Structure 1
Amino acid sequence: MADSPVSTKNIYPYYAKSNVDKAGKDTATKGQLGKDEFLKILMTQLKNQDPTDPLKDKEFIAQMAQFTSVEQLSNMTSELKLMRQSLGIASSLIGKEVQWSIPSTKTNEEPKIGTGVVESIIMKEGSQYALIKDEQVNLDSILRISNPVPEAVKE
């Protein structure tokens, strides 16, 4: 069988190290497999499978179910990200008093808490930030949102 023209170096689970190293060279998505990459792997596996031992029906159905799950999870993640970063929802924070966590620079120190009124919302590098007293606070670090107490009540 050593002279067999069928190679096992590109059939799961015997992927050749050189093939694995070539996969995912794009630095933006390096180390991440999406639905397109999963489909390419599946199609390559089907093209290069051993004709004397093709995929069993159960294995093929299981892989197709995995592909469907990967696609649905990918779509759900995208929708959740869009919902979380909806500018309409974030803009409702303008004029509200917020409390946020300021991470400590020292290892065993508790995070500090900041408080202030949101002046505007900023989109930067795919994330939303609240502008509070010239400080940009990531919306993910906000702990509490409330209506500001009027000055007459404070006195």
Structure 2
Amino acid sequence: MTSIDPSYYLSNQNQSREVNNSLGKDEFLKILMTQLQNQDPLNPMEDKEFISQMTTFSSLEQMMNMSKSIDTLVQNQTVSPVIQYSHLIGKEVSYYRIDEETGEVAEPKEIATSEVKAISQNGGYAVIELDNDTKIYTDEVLRINDPSAE
């Protein structure tokens, strides 16, 4: 029995082809133009049918634009909270003082102010680290002040 060298029939094996299963607006326009060019001149496409296809095209384009906008929004939302709030470093923030025993806002409510020295992350939320060794979440900030602007 004679053996066949596999390099003869496997030489193109590593080449792959990507298949795009989605139709975009360019493909839709090409199909529509081909349909218009190849229609029967004695029995042309009715106006209602043409308007319907143009409406479909317009809807497709709007959905694609909305999809891009949603993708951009999602991408912006996935920015690290540390980066998102890093502009607060060096700023002065005011917040309600927290009772260390209960972890709740101290009664009577007392506003404390301190300079932001760092931003960290805990459980997906940004934590503001202050000069007075206090750590607060961003939703606890009442006021942001730039001491260098005064």
- Could you tell me the TM-score, scaled by structure 1's length? 0.43
Larger Rg: 2
- Could you tell me the TM-score, scaled by structure 2's length? 0.44
